[in-house]
Amino acid sequence: MDDFIFGTLATEELRLAHIRSQRGGISHSQRRLPRDPLPGQPVSLELSLGPEHPQQKAWVYWTNDGSDPAGANGQAQNGFVSGLEPIDSEWDNLLWGYIRHFRVELPGQPAGTVVRYRLAAEDVWADSGAFYAYYVDNDPPPDWTKDAILYQIFADRFFDPAPEFPKLEAKPSLKCNGTLRGITAKLDYIAGLGVNCLWLTPIFPSPSYHGYDATSFYEINPRLGTKEDFRQLLDETHARGMKLLMDFVPNHWSNQHPTFIEAQKDQSSPHRPWYTFKTWPHDYKTFFGVKTLPQINLRNREAREHILGAAQYWLEFGVDGFRVDYCIGPSPDFYAEFRRVTRTTNPESWTFGEAVDPPDSQITFAGGMDGSLDFMLLEAMRQTFAFGRWNARRFADFLSRHEAFFPATFSRPSFLDNHDMNRFLWVAGNDKRKLRLAALCQYTLVGAPILYYGTEIGLSQERDMVQHGRAIHEEARLPMPWASSAQDKDLYAYYRGLGQLRHERPALRRGRRETIHADDSVLIYRRVTGSDSLVVVLNTSEKPATVMLALSEARECFATGSDCGIEKTDSGLRLHLPPYGGLVLG
Amino acid sequence: MDDFIFGTLATEELRLAHIRSQRGGISHSQRRLPRDPLPGQPVSLELSLGPEHPQQKAWVYWTNDGSDPAGANGQAQNGFVSGLEPIDSEWDNLLWGYIRHFRVELPGQPAGTVVRYRLAAEDVWADSGAFYAYYVDNDPPPDWTKDAILYQIFADRFFDPAPEFPKLEAKPSLKCNGTLRGITAKLDYIAGLGVNCLWLTPIFPSPSYHGYDATSFYEINPRLGTKEDFRQLLDETHARGMKLLMDFVPNHWSNQHPTFIEAQKDQSSPHRPWYTFKTWPHDYKTFFGVKTLPQINLRNREAREHILGAAQYWLEFGVDGFRVDYCIGPSPDFYAEFRRVTRTTNPESWTFGEAVDPPDSQITFAGGMDGSLDFMLLEAMRQTFAFGRWNARRFADFLSRHEAFFPATFSRPSFLDNHDMNRFLWVAGNDKRKLRLAALCQYTLVGAPILYYGTEIGLSQERDMVQHGRAIHEEARLPMPWASSAQDKDLYAYYRGLGQLRHERPALRRGRRETIHADDSVLIYRRVTGSDSLVVVLNTSEKPATVMLALSEARECFATGSDCGIEKTDSGLRLHLPPYGGLVLG
């Protein structure tokens, strides 16, 4: 069994093509310092020219009034133009040539400014003509997000509170009939886990059971309920001190969306430019070639306002933020406005992206959103705890490099699985010891943990998601089993304990992390903040482990099971860990 | 026909393996700033750890008394130890992991100090255990080297002044019987070209005709003459105001060298550690697997002193410096001592390396030698002028990037060909227009031009150097034809003119270079220093070109031929260039 997380960069061939195109091209790729500028702070932009681009001059065309920059050959037609200076050349052994670096500094701007820009080397636009933008503000993620424990609910799969009633319409999938009321009914169950933030997969009207193909961004899927149901869910959620995040899908929606139907029918429709027709009406840009998922042209002002309006609408409705689906899809300049809208509508809102991409891509969303889902950590945790391919030393080293790469103000919600991949428990061979250990690690790292519905009661799969070379996503989206006999209550209690631990200990939510020890099997790290401090000990191997810890005194405050032991000796504590055992001390 | 210059990095596969090993390893790779430190100047060293190296700590062990540094786990056993600080992590899409960067600053040292160092990540040595060193001094290349025009003589192939006399011994190759007296006899011929510096291929005793497999570094090959002959050659050379460089081969010599014969015969020989025997006596390190060319172990102090002694010996004998063969072979720490010996023996000596390697490798010799042969420019000039694969725009762009990469104090002698590759004229299809244009370019760039013997009278080849997949080097080393009928006197006069031009115009030798114009066909650049300035115009294409130059007045001071024309117009000069035509104005 293999784990295909990063599909577009899964093979060396794909990676090389990506590197070649980025390093070999006329490339800005959002090399901007600072990425998320403060009011008045100048911003340095870099441009590089691969060996086959002989342009001698480079410019940035930019505006600070929200309009599109325009210009050519160093003359601005709208806004400003600034010349870039050549900095140095770098030899590249893959491209077998010099990469030339240029740089320019744009002046600082007042808070609330959206700076929009494009770079060009002589008459060639950088990055195939991409538009970029940044939003000037002093806006780190809201404080509450550091305390968040999230629960991801696949709306259709969660709970049907009235299975005996007739449904509004036939379901495209019969596996479950989850509704918003069903979620409301289970809020105490969720809150019991220490969860204080829900993330719902899309609840917009949609022909599919998953909802990633909306037909409206301003309505609720009638199969899931009504706006009143959603209002009630929100109220009940907030009443429990919990937040709620929606799944926001700005890149594409259904080909049944009224604007798309109209754009395909009527060549002169004002909605036609909301899409990118290569040849009207049947050849248009889509999400990964799926004809039912036309891509929204967010360079079109009306389309963009429609999408931004939806973000504003739901924040005003009361939601607390968004998980942004396929955030690498929209034009990068979209996010400065997304930031402006989300932060001005609700300064306490939280937004993070889903970019199934490596860290150098993740980091480009700094400033546009509060962060992004930590796919790299996901891969590392699965390699270490589920597959056993990475030993503790390699995982420890990954962690420290990974943490050093991202600024502290960049949210990196952590997860062991989601609705797009085999569940962790499945790839761990349904070995719950591995899940417990991985969860212990996840809950004691910096990023806010996300729990995928069902994991807490041992929901796994019937078959692998990949069948005959095709991904059957439903396998990882089985209905939540509510029958008491189908739920692992011990595991629920374990997750509840993890939640409590995280809430009780500020060091886990706000502390720095330091590796104390890592060998082939055992990883020990400390979390420290102010007066709080604790030590996490993880045995990643299939063998029992004994490890010495130079501490004279320590309280066990959490363990994967009762078979973990602490023995006091003259030279410190001797810790006994069973296979896949873990301990928290302090 | 293809041009295989960079054999060890000729294919993408080789390049990827090289990148993987360098970026993926525990790698210093001489990332040292400054590379060539001045007295008292602190030196920053960088170390990077590829994704699979989980070490958390790194140290540099170093000495400043000439002895080898030694130590382990952060404890120095000889000299000093300094801990490196982790700086940041960089995501690498090829390796699919983070590269971790460490840095340390070593304190400045007084002039004349050799600082020797090794880096380690915990208990693993960087770069497979390499020893590095730098020599502290304020020693830019001697001033005369900026005025140098070099002539490369393949000693055996040049001139036999007494063909009727019996030879000292049978020649391994019968194509020629060149001698040192033969070179002396032709010094006026050489000086007539404006050449002021000879570089002789090895003249040490050797079983081969080429001499790269010496049996002594302290003697003269009797087939070429005696030390008296060499003394006379040197005196006559110096009498003409010319310099003479020897070819120095520190990496390997002949398996007939007495020390190697002894080392192979006697397991307890003190010369055995002069070599690296994997299994004594038949399995030993060689130059590219050639058993007749054992590699000298320059980590052995006696072997190193023997080699350094030879450099000192010949400098004291009167030679003016060295071209160092296969300079990437010896342990990198060799060059700090090589620098010390060459500069203290003759502060006016010039040394440059032969590294058939890309610029990131060339630059590592800064400080150890004055520079290195400009192989990258060689490739670019052949691609542009001989093969016509690069247009003028691409070549111009290459030039500016290439010049920006190297510090001005790094000598980059330029050449169109040498004894290890097809002659330029051969790969140019024997089209002398292409050679003239390329030579005009070469002589008007910054680096000191090297003329390979025979090029000036149109010597080409009988066959391609590559026959049935094998390189027959003799094809590029044909005997110098002295018969008047075999010499292109016009070409000689052309080269003589180029030599005069370079000597007359300080802008060509010491000026900066600026591209004025480059299009698909024509490249125009300016050379400027102080009060001197000139403009070089090159038509790299097979079609005539007309180009406007915004100069009201300009004197033609050199041209590839009389078919170049200058026409005065109201808006400047209109230049007419035939195919492969070139002009110098100013």
**What string of DSSP letters covers A367-381?**
TTBSEE--HHHHHHH
Rounded to whole angstroms, the Cα distance separating B101 from B84 reads: 9
**Which 3 state secondary structure label does DSSP give B304?**
helix
Contacts of A405 in chain B (CB under 8 A): 88-91, 98
DSSP label at B367? T
CB atoms within 10 A of CB A239: 9
Nearest chain A Cα distance for residue B7, angstroms? 13
DSSP label at A66? S
pLDDT band of A166, cuts 50, 70, 90: very low
Would the CB atoms of B401 and A98 count as touching at under 8 Å?
A: yes
CB A542 within 8 A of CB A388: yes
pLDDT tens readout for residues A240-251 = 999 999 999 999
Contacts of B398 in chain A (CB under 8 A): 51, 97-98
CB atoms within 10 A of CB B487: 18
Q: Is residue A150 part of a domain?
A: no
CB B178 within 8 A of CB B159: yes
- The whole-number pLDDT of residue B513 equals 97
- The whole-number pLDDT of residue A168 equals 45
Q: Cα A502 to chain center, whole Å?
A: 21
Would the CB atoms of A94 and B19 count as touching at under 8 Å?
A: yes
Q: Considering CB atoms only, which of A9, A91, A93 is closest to B405?
A: A91
Among A125-134, A390-399, A425-434, B553-562, the range scoring the smallest mean pLDDT is: B553-562
pLDDT of A215 over the 50 cut: yes
Mean pLDDT over A267-292 rounds to: 97
Would the CB atoms of B404 and A89 count as touching at under 8 Å?
A: yes
Among A3-7, A156-160, B543-547, the range scoring the smallest mean pLDDT is: A3-7
pLDDT of A164 over the 80 cut: no
Which residue in A has a C-alpha nearest to residue B54's C-alpha? Answer: A397
Total number of domains constituting chain B = 3
Which residue in A has a C-alpha nearest to residue B393's C-alpha? Answer: A54
Angle formed at CA A452 by CA A449 and CA A454, multiple of 5 degrees? 130
pLDDT band of A554, cuts 50, 70, 90: confident
- Give the CATH number for residue A279: 3.90.400.10
- Which of B417, B410, B465 minimizes the C-alpha distance to B439? B417
- The whole-number pLDDT of residue A175 equals 55
What is the extent of the structural domain holding A518?
A: 514-585
Contacts of A495 (CB under 8 A, 6+ apart): A193, A194, A439, A451, A455, A456
Mean pLDDT over A211-223 rounds to: 96
- The whole-number pLDDT of residue A402 equals 97
Would the CB atoms of A54 and B518 count as touching at under 8 Å?
A: yes
Rounded to whole angstroms, the Cα distance separating A299 from A291 reads: 20
Q: Which helix (H) or strand (E) holds B72?
A: strand B70-72
Among A5-9, A209-213, A503-507, B106-110, the range scoring the smallest mean pLDDT is: A5-9
E strand map for B457-544: 466-467, 470-471, 512-518, 522-529, 532-539
Is the peptide bond between B347 and the residue preceding it cis, with omega within 30 degrees of 0? no
Q: Cα A251 to chain center, whole Å?
A: 15
Contacts of B12 in chain A (CB under 8 A): 94
Long-range contacts of B219-223 (CB under 8 A, 24+ apart): B220/B180, B221/B155, B222/B168, B222/B169, B223/B156, B223/B167, B223/B168, B223/B169, B223/B171, B223/B177, B223/B179
Q: Is residue A231 part of a domain?
A: no
- Which of A296, A300, A260 minimizes the C-alpha distance to A280? A260
pLDDT > 70 fraction of chain B, expressed in percent and rounded: 97
pLDDT of B495 over the 90 cut: yes
- The whole-number pLDDT of residue B166 equals 47
- The whole-number pLDDT of residue B15 equals 95
- The whole-number pLDDT of residue B551 equals 83
Nearest chain A Cα distance for residue B71, angstroms? 23
pLDDT of B101 over the 70 cut: yes
Would the CB atoms of B359 and A52 count as touching at under 8 Å?
A: no
Residue where the block lists tokens 């509170």: A161
One-letter-per-residue 3-state SS of B107-130: CCCCCCCEEEEEEEECCEEHHHHC
- The whole-number pLDDT of residue B469 equals 85
Helix/strand/coil percentages in chain B, nearest 5:
30, 25, 45
pLDDT band of B301, cuts 50, 70, 90: very high
pLDDT of B344 over the 70 cut: yes
Domain boundary among B135, B158, B185: B135
Rounded to whole angstroms, the Cα distance separating B150 from B450 reads: 4
Q: Which amino acid is at B36?
A: D
Q: Is residue A283 part of a domain?
A: yes
Which residue in B has a C-alpha nearest to residue A405's C-alpha? Answer: B89
Q: Which CA distances in Å does A146 have to A462, A536, B237, B369?
A: 35, 19, 78, 56
Nearest chain B Cα distance for residue A100, angstroms? 7
Q: Is residue A173 part of a domain?
A: no
CB A544 within 8 A of CB A577: yes
Nearest chain B Cα distance for residue A85, angstroms? 13
pLDDT tens readout for residues A1-49 = 677 788 889 899 999 999 999 999 999 999 999 999 999 999 999 999 9
Contacts of B9 in chain A (CB under 8 A): 93, 96
pLDDT of B553 over the 60 cut: yes
One-letter-per-residue 3-state SS of A107-162: CCCCCCCEEEEEEEECCEEHHHHCCEEEECCCCCCCHHHHHCCEEEECHHHHCCCC
Nearest chain B Cα distance for residue A449, angstroms? 23
pLDDT tens readout for residues B189-228 = 999 999 999 999 999 999 999 999 999 999 999 999 999 9
Contacts of A586 (CB under 8 A, 6+ apart): A505, A507, A533, A534, A535, A554, A555, A557
Would the CB atoms of B359 and A98 count as touching at under 8 Å?
A: yes
Nearest chain B Cα distance for residue A457, angstroms? 33
Contacts of B393 in chain A (CB under 8 A): 54
Q: Which residues of A are catalytic?
A: 325, 354
Residues of B with CB under 8 A from a CB of A: 9, 12, 15-16, 18-19, 51-56, 86, 88-91, 93-94, 96-98, 100, 358-360, 393-394, 396-398, 400-402, 404-405, 515, 518
DSSP label at A448? P
Contacts of B515 in chain A (CB under 8 A): 56
Among A253-262, B4-13, B55-64, B385-394, the range scoring the smallest mean pLDDT is: B4-13
> How is B4-15 classified by DSSP, letter by letter?
---GGG-SHHHH
Which residue in B has a C-alpha nearest to residue A99's C-alpha? Answer: B401
Helix/strand/coil percentages in chain A, nearest 5:
30, 25, 45
- The whole-number pLDDT of residue A161 equals 87
pLDDT tens readout for residues A509-521 = 999 999 999 999 9
pLDDT band of A552, cuts 50, 70, 90: confident
- Which of A300, A297, A301, A299 minimizes the C-alpha distance to A277? A297
pLDDT of A417 over the 70 cut: yes
- The whole-number pLDDT of residue B1 equals 62
- Give the CATH number for residue A548: 2.60.40.1180
- Which of B477, B484, B420 minimizes the C-alpha distance to B457? B484
Domain boundary among A242, A266, A297: A297
Rounded to whole angstroms, the Cα distance separating B438 from A145 reads: 65
pLDDT band of A415, cuts 50, 70, 90: very high
Would the CB atoms of A56 and B400 count as touching at under 8 Å?
A: yes
Would the CB atoms of A518 and B54 count as touching at under 8 Å?
A: yes
Q: Considering CB atoms only, which of A55, A56, A405 is closest to B89?
A: A405
- The whole-number pLDDT of residue A170 equals 47
* Helices marked H in A1-141: 12-24
Q: Is residue B126 part of a domain?
A: yes
Cα maximum dimension of chain B: 84
Among A166-170, A462-466, B163-167, the range scoring the smallest mean pLDDT is: A166-170
Q: Tokens representing A385?
A: 């705890």
Nearest chain B Cα distance for residue A86, angstroms? 10
Domain boundary among A90, A112, A135: A135
Q: Which residues of B are catalytic?
A: 325, 354
Mean pLDDT over B506-531 rounds to: 96
Residues of A with CB under 8 A from a CB of B: 9, 12, 15-16, 18-19, 51-56, 86, 88-91, 93-94, 96-98, 100, 358-360, 393-394, 396-398, 400-402, 404-405, 515, 518
Q: Average pLDDT, whole number, for chain A?
A: 95
Mutate to test the interface with A, among B4, B26, B88, B93 (most CBs of A within 10 A): B93
CB B431 within 8 A of CB B387: no
Q: Considering CB atoms only, which of A9, A96, A405 is closest to B98?
A: A405
- Give the CATH number for residue B100: 2.60.40.10
Looking at the DSSP assignment, which residues form a beta bridge with residue A322?
A246, A351
Q: Tokens representing A480?
A: 């939540």
pLDDT of B472 over the 50 cut: yes
Contacts of A172 (CB under 8 A, 6+ apart): A207, A208, A209
Contacts of B405 in chain A (CB under 8 A): 88-91, 98
Which residue in B has a C-alpha nearest to residue A360's C-alpha? Answer: B91
Which residue in B has a C-alpha nearest to residue A391's C-alpha? Answer: B54
pLDDT band of B175, cuts 50, 70, 90: low
φ/ψ of A393, rounded to 5, equals -65, -45
Rounded to whole angstroms, the Cα distance separating A103 from A31 reads: 10
pLDDT of B336 over the 60 cut: yes
Nearest chain B Cα distance for residue A562, angstroms? 31
Q: How many helices (H) and strands (E) does chain A have?
A: 15, 33
φ/ψ of B60, rounded to 5, equals -115, 130
Q: Is residue A519 part of a domain?
A: yes
Mutate to test the interface with B, among A98, A364, A379 (most CBs of B within 10 A): A98
pLDDT tens readout for residues A329-362 = 999 999 999 999 999 999 999 999 999 999 999 9
Would the CB atoms of B360 and A52 count as touching at under 8 Å?
A: no
Would the CB atoms of B359 and A54 count as touching at under 8 Å?
A: no
Q: Considering CB atoms only, which of A19, A51, A52 is closest to B94?
A: A19
Q: Is residue B549 part of a domain?
A: yes
Rounded to whole angstroms, the Cα distance separating B487 from B459 reads: 8
- Which of B27, B46, B37 minimizes the C-alpha distance to B114? B37
Nearest chain B Cα distance for residue A52, angstroms? 7
Rounded to whole angstroms, the Cα distance separating A148 from A351 reads: 13
Q: Which CA distances in Å does B61 have to A457, B82, B250, B312?
A: 55, 7, 26, 29
Is the pTM higher than 0.90? The answer reads yes
Mutate to test the interface with A, among B394, B401, B516, B521 (most CBs of A within 10 A): B401
- Which of A287, A289, A288 minimizes the C-alpha distance to A297? A287
Contacts of B89 in chain A (CB under 8 A): 401-402, 404-405
Q: Is residue A490 part of a domain?
A: no
Q: Considering CB atoms only, which of A19, A93, A401 is closest to B98?
A: A401
